[in-house]
Amino acid sequence: MARARSVAPTRVDVDCCVVGGGPAGIMLGLLLARAGVEVAVLEKHGDFLRDFRGDTIHPSTIQVLDELGLRDAFLALPHTTVHSFDAVLDGTRITPIDFETLSGRNDFLVLMPQWDFLDFVAEHAAAYPGFRLLMNTEATELITDGGSGRGGSGGEARETSAGRVAGVRAQGPDGPVEVHAALTVAADGRDSQLREASGLPLADFGAPIDVVWLRLPYPEHRPPDTIGYFDENRLVITIPREGYYQVGLIIPKGSFDQLHKQGIGSVRDAIVQTAGFLAPVIGELTSFKQLRLLSVQIDRLETWSRPGLLCIGDAAHAMSPAFGVGVNYAIQDAVATANRLAPLLRGAGTVAGARASSLDAASAWVQRRRMPAVRAMQAVQLVAHEIINGTGLDLGPVPLSEPRRIALSAAMPIVQRVAARVVGRGIRPERVSRQIRGATTRPFV
């Protein structure tokens, strides 16, 4: 019997290999390419069409787009503009976050399907000659300077020799691919294959809640846009989208199977008991196939890098959906990474010696720069999880007493300004460096 001939992998040589076509990876690709770095972004799917992903574009990200000269083009896309976050707390409407208290013209939040945002950034990145986006290309293994690595998707990771990461092996639509680079960036999400392959230590902080996502059409009598409805029983998230609500039902961690046994009627009842205005349209929810479970997790790497490899975004720190900041923290990671590493990566190819040491030191700097903000926001999210523990909120006497309502109203202006700054701008907002903003590299016309 004739032996099957192995297919030689296609080799790609770049300055930087970015694994993961999410917000962190695509934005980093754009920034590096704009700065004249040869960069390849690997995305394992054939498109960006994944539902119920982070769709909130905060003022910090709009500011980044503004600094890149892309703000107006971005805002020309279909989107929903949000100037404040309203919530109904046991029948009392409050506005805990008012983005209009921020300075500057980017004092609002945008709701947009993540695939539209990623398509937009990828389209502008593709105009630069140094940018390559390899779709349907899944990284399966790290390449080290010893010629081997640790990894392999779809099976148990195998231990091999350690060494400097020099790229990745991947499976593309036309066969195996090897991408060789001076720096590999893992931006492949909270279930990162590269993070697992790297052996970097991960701290998991747990989460007492999960979120069940679904869509419901707008009722005929639609109330003012409200981010969530709270009572002594539960929290229901109601995100306004183009023609429908993206509804999130908070449930105790691991209770989805129990909910399934109770039947779809129990989900309908839970939603309308807290968000009664959805009663006229709740009949549209007829099957568990319409639900998407998000297993909430908060974790972060204790060390984000090893020689030749840097983790950013959810691969470095999985955020809770609380306050919807995950996308924006991932993008701020990308900005910090590009600001610090672009000058070192330009024309680097594969490196050794002093230049390799400089890249590794710069990668460690990214963690030092971003970790305080990540740690602080995750602490806020953990406190929020303690308050919203999946079984309800401790509101005290229900309904709220008149003194508590008065105290809440008096504190709200201060809360609005602080929350807008922390949630909208971020604890440590990143600005695109002047070198990247004014990069001489120009796209093909």
pLDDT tens by residue, 164-197? 999 999 999 999 999 999 999 999 998 899 999 9
Distances (CA, A) of 20 to 23, 24, 89, 312, 343: 9, 8, 39, 10, 22
Q: Are residues 51 and 129 in the same domain?
A: yes
Expressed as residue numbers, the domain containing 272 is 209-294
What is the tens place of the pLDDT at every residue in 419-432?
888 888 989 999 99
Retrieve residue 294's tokens.
Answer: 């998000």
Instruction: Report residue 416: phi and psi, to 5°.
Output: -60, -45
Q: 219 and 187, same structural domain?
A: no
pLDDT band with cut points at 50, 70 and 90 for residue 153: very low
Average of per-residue pLDDT across 349-378: 88
Domain boundary among 294, 313, 347: 294
DSSP, res 18: E
Residue 239: alpha-carbon gap to chain centroid: 17
* Mean pLDDT confidence for 335-356: 83
Dihedral Cα 183, 184, 186, 187, nearest 10 deg: 80
By C-alpha distance, which of 290, 272, 294, 297 is closest to 282? 272
Specify the range with the lowest mean pLDDT, choosing from 65-69, 197-201, 346-350, 379-383: 346-350
Where does a domain end: 362, 388, 414?
A: 388
For the chain, the residue count is: 445
> Domain with 215 in it: what CATH number?
3.30.70
Strand 292-294 with 209-217, pairing: antiparallel
- Torsion angle defined by CA atoms of residues 323, 327, 332 and 335, in that order, rounded to the nearest 10 degrees: -170
> Does residue 90 sit within a domain?
no
pLDDT at site 90: 77
pLDDT at 443: 42
Confidence of residue 348 (pLDDT cuts 50, 70, 90): low
pLDDT score of 150 more than 80: no
Q: Is 347 left (phi over 0), alpha (psi -120 to 50) or beta?
A: left
3-state class of 214 per DSSP?
strand
Integer Cα distance of 413 and 418 in angstroms: 9
Q: What Rg, from alpha-carbon coordinates, does the chain have?
A: 23
Per-residue pLDDT for 288 more than 90?
yes
For residue 102, give every residue at least 6 positions away whose Cβ sits within 8 Å of its Cβ, in sequence order, or none: 59, 420, 421, 424, 425
pLDDT value of position 240: 86
Residues forming beta bridges with residue 422, ordered by sequence position: none
- The pLDDT tens digits for 188-206 are 998 899 999 999 999 999 8
pLDDT digits (tens, 9 = 90+) for 274-283: 999 999 999 9
Q: Residue 53: pLDDT band by 50, 70, 90 thresholds?
A: low
**SS3 at position 143:** strand
- Domain final residue, candidates 266, 294, 322: 294
Report if residue 425 sits inside a domain. no
Query: Residue 65: what residue type?
Result: L
Kind plus residue range of the DSSP H or E element containing 115 = helix 114-125
418: tokens are 């602080």
Q: What percent of the chain stands above pLDDT 70?
A: 85
Segment among 31-35, 72-76, 154-158, 309-313 with least mean pLDDT: 154-158
Residues in Cβ contact with 117 at an 8 Å cutoff, skipping those fewer than 6 apart: 23, 55, 57
For the chain, the average pLDDT equals 86
Question: Is the same domain home to 371 and 348?
Answer: yes
For residue 410, pLDDT beyond 80 = no
Tokens in use for 160?
A: 């091999």
pLDDT value of residue 158: 37
Among candidate residues 117, 109, 118, 292, the one with its CA nearest the CA of residue 215: 292
- Structural domain includes residue 103: no
- The CATH number of whichever domain residue 26 belongs to comes to 3.50.50.60
